[in-house]
């Protein structure tokens, strides 16, 4: 079973509960995704990667994005269709980058607008024949079923397999004191692989709620408002 199935399936019995909340204090925004909404974005991403770019299990997909609710959808969608998340765009089937990132090194580039309200790149569109991820993936299907099985030995994150990532996530959750029902407040960057595992994969694997804060300026207020039980700041 693929990595995203392993992370999300146990949570879907309570699909309305929060999964990821993202604060951007520089933008003054707060976006909360329920388990169902996060799964929906992941499904749209997976369908888009398969239908538009023919991504198959083990294919490299570069992700050069900050900690953000849209990045969560990109990562989970990539893993759902078996994509191998890598750091460098060279040789990647698709590279996800922010609006100011470089384009052209991968076979194709998807620009993620990182807009707090989920809007795409607007009238200017994506540069250099790249794709506008939010505008394009939004029209993809809301449900995803892998057409090709994703074995546990498929590379998922910088050479680590699905099984290895899950094992590392379980270990890190225990080391960080993250358990089911915890509310994990984090300011850690989602670096590959450690930041993503600690601040996203490990909490989801443990059944916890991720509260990620970018450009933190009101951390104490967020900690209190979100009733955080684990602090990764």
**DSSP string of 98-128?**
-TTS--SSSSEEEE----TT---S-TT--ST
The residue to which tokens 């590279």 are assigned: 95
**Residue 233's pLDDT is what?**
83
Confidence of residue 160 (pLDDT cuts 50, 70, 90): very high
Confidence of residue 136 (pLDDT cuts 50, 70, 90): very high
Q: How far apart are CA 110 and CA 106, in angstroms?
A: 10
Percent of the chain exceeding pLDDT 90 equals 88
Q: How far apart are CA 146 and CA 220, in angstroms?
A: 42
**Residue 100's pLDDT is what?**
84
Residue 174 has pLDDT above 80, yes or no: yes
Q: What angle do CA 85, 21, 78 make, to 5 degrees?
A: 20
**Predicted confidence (pLDDT) per residue in 59-97, tens digit:** 999 999 999 999 999 999 999 999 999 999 999 999 999
Looking at the 3D structure of the chain, how many domains does it have?
1
Q: What is the DSSP string of 146-208?
A: -SS---TTSEEETTEEHHHHHHHHHHHHHHHT--TT-EEEE-----TTHHHIIIIIHHHHHTP
**Residue 102's pLDDT is what?**
73
Residue 182 has pLDDT above 90, yes or no: yes
Q: Which two tokens stand for residue 147?
A: 């057409």
Look at 115-119, 130-134, 190-194 and tell me which has the smallest mean pLDDT.
Answer: 115-119
CATH at residue 172: 3.40.50.12780
Q: How far apart are CA 155 and CA 83, in angstroms?
A: 8
Q: How many CB atoms lie within 10 A of CB 161?
A: 18
pTM, whole model, 2 decimals?
A: 0.96
Q: Which of 1, 26, 13, 6 is nearest to 217 (CA)?
A: 26
Q: 218-222: long-range contacts at Cβ-Cβ below 8 A with a sequence spacing of 24 or more?
A: 218/23, 218/25, 219/185, 219/187, 222/23, 222/185
Average pLDDT over residues 6-22: 94
110's enclosing H/E stretch is: strand 108-111
Average pLDDT over residues 106-126: 87
Q: Which two tokens stand for residue 228?
A: 């955080």
Q: In terms of residue numbers, what domain contains 152?
A: 3-232
Number of helices and strands in the chain (H, E): 8, 12
């Amino acid at each position: 079973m693929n990595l995203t199935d392993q992370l999300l399936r146990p949570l879907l019995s309570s699909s309305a509960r929060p999964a990821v909340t993202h604060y951007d204090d520089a933008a003054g925004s707060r976006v909360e995704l329920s388990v169902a909404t996060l799964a929906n974005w992941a499904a749209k991403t997976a369908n888009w990667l398969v239908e538009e770019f023919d991504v198959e299990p083990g294919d490299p997909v570069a992700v050069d994005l900050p900690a953000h609710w849209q990045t969560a959808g990109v990562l989970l969608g990539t893993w759902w269709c078996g994509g191998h998340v890598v750091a460098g765009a060279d040789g990647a089937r698709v590279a996800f980058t922010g609006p100011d990132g470089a384009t052209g090194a991968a076979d194709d580039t998807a620009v993620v607008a990182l807009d707090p309200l989920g809007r795409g790149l607007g009238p200017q569109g994506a540069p250099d024949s790249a794709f506008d991820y939010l505008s394009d993936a939004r029209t993809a299907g809301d449900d995803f079923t892998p057409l090709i099985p994703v074995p546990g030995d498929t590379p998922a994150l910088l050479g680590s397999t699905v099984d290895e990532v899950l094992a590392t996530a379980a270990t890190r959750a225990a080391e960080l004191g993250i358990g089911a029902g915890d509310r994990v407040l984090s300011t850690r960057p989602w670096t590959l692989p450690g930041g993503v595992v600690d601040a996203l994969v490990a909490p989801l694997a443990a059944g916890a709620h991720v509260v990620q804060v970018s450009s933190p300026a009101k951390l104490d207020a967020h900690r209190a408002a979100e009733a955080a039980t684990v602090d990764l700041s």
